Chains A and B, each alone.
Chain A
Amino acid sequence: MFRKADDNALWAIGISLVLFFIGGILTTVVPPLVDTTWAKPFENRDPAKGITGKVTSLTDLQKKGRAIYVREGCWYCHTQQVRTLLADTKRYGWRGVDAPISTPDEFVFDDPHMFGTKRTGPDLARIGGKYDEQWHRTHFRNPRDLVKGSIMPPYPWIVGDPAEFKAVVAYMQSLGRGKDWRPANDYEK
Chain B
Amino acid sequence: MQPQFSRAEVAKVPEGALVHEDSTAKWFLVSSVTYFFIVGIIALIIAAKFVWPDLMGTMSWLSYGRLRPLHVNGMLFGWLLAADMGLAFYIIPRLCGVPLWSEKLGLATAILWNIIILGAVVTLLAGLNQGWEYAELPWYLDILVVVAWIMFGVNIFLTVAQRKHQAMYVTIWYTMGCILWTAFVYLTGNFATLFTTGTNQANLNWMYVHNAVGLIFTPIGLAIAYYFIPRSSNTPLHSHKLSMVGFWSLAFVYVWTGAHHMLHGPISQWLQTIAIAFSLMLLIPVWAVVYNLFATMKGQWHQLRESVPLKFLMSGVVFYLLTCFQGPMHSLRTVNAIVSKTDWIPGHAHMAVLGCFSFFAIAGTYFVVPKIWGRVLHSESLANWSYWMLMIGGLGFYTTLWLGGFWQGWQWNNWSIPFIDTVIALRPIWLVRFFSGVMMFIGIVMFAYNILATVTGANEEAAA
Contacts and interface: CB of A to CB of B under 8 A. Distances in A.
Contacts of A39: 198, 200
Interface in B304-346: 337, 341-343, 345-346
Contacts of A144: 53
B102 interface: no
Contacts of B15: none
A13 interface: yes
Contacts of B259: 27
Given A9-B176, A119-B412, 20 more contacts: A6-B3, A12-B173, A20-B184, A26-B256, A27-B256, A27-B258, A28-B203, A28-B207, A31-B203, A32-B200, A70-B129, A74-B65, A91-B412, A109-B198, A111-B197, A113-B197, A113-B198, A115-B266, A119-B341, A144-B53
B160 interface: yes
A149 B423 contact: yes
Instruction: Identify the 8 closest CB pairs spanning chains A and B, nearest first.
Output: A73-B65, A112-B131, A107-B198, A83-B264, A104-B199, A90-B415, A23-B255, A71-B127
Interface in B240-268: 244, 248, 251-256, 258-259, 261-262, 264-268
Interface of A: 2-3, 5-7, 9, 12-13, 15-17, 19-20, 22-24, 26-28, 31-32, 34-35, 38-39, 70-77, 79, 81, 83-85, 87-88, 90-91, 101-104, 106-122, 143-144, 147-157
Nearest to A32: B200
Contacts of B255: 20, 23-24, 27
B217 to A, nearest CB: 16
B255 to A, nearest CB: 4
| Most chain A CB atoms below 10 A, which of B49, B133, B172 | B133
B168 interface: yes
Contact of A115 (B168, B196, B265, B268): B265
A166 B223 CA distance: 52
Contact of A110 (B3, B197, B244, B424): B197
A28 B254 CA distance: 13
11 contacts: A23-B278, A24-B207, A39-B198, A70-B131, A71-B127, A73-B129, A76-B69, A77-B65, A87-B412, A120-B50, A149-B427
Contacts of B199: 32, 38, 104, 107, 113
A104 B202 CA distance: 10
Interface stretch (B54-62, B108-116, B456-464): B54-62
B265 A102 contact: yes
A12 B58 contact: no
Nearest to B408: A119
A35 B268 contact: yes
B53 A75 contact: no
B290 interface: no
A175 B386 CA distance: 48
Contacts of A156: 58
A115 B204 CA distance: 13
A122 B198 contact: no
A16 B203 contact: no
Given A118-B345, A118-B346, A153-B57, A22 B130 contact: no
Contact of A104 (B50, B172, B268, B341): B268
Interface string B157-182: 10011000011100011001100110
B369 to A, nearest CB: 29
B433 interface: no
Given A12-B173, A122-B419, A27 B248 contact: no
A69 to B, nearest CB: 9
A5 B169 CA distance: 11
B7 interface: no
Contacts of A122: 419
A6 B170 CA distance: 8
Contact of A73 (B64, B412, B419): B64
A112 B136 CA distance: 11
Nearest to B415: A90
Given A27-B274, A110-B197, A151 B161 contact: no
A13 B168 CA distance: 12
Contacts of B167: 6-7
Contacts of A112: 130-132, 193, 201
A150 B53 contact: yes
B387 to A, nearest CB: 30
Contacts of B343: 120
B215 interface: yes
Contacts of B207: 24, 27-28
B239 interface: no
A7 B244 CA distance: 13
A23 B168 contact: no
Nearest to A154: B57
B16 to A, nearest CB: 26
B66 interface: yes
Contacts of B132: 112-113
A157 B60 contact: yes
Contacts of B3: 6
A71 B198 contact: no
A90 B66 CA distance: 32
A3 B1 CA distance: 7
Given A107-B266, A118-B341, A149 B424 contact: yes
B420 interface: yes
Nearest to A158: B60
A119 to B, nearest CB: 4
A76 B425 CA distance: 20
Contact of A16 (B63, B177, B258): B177
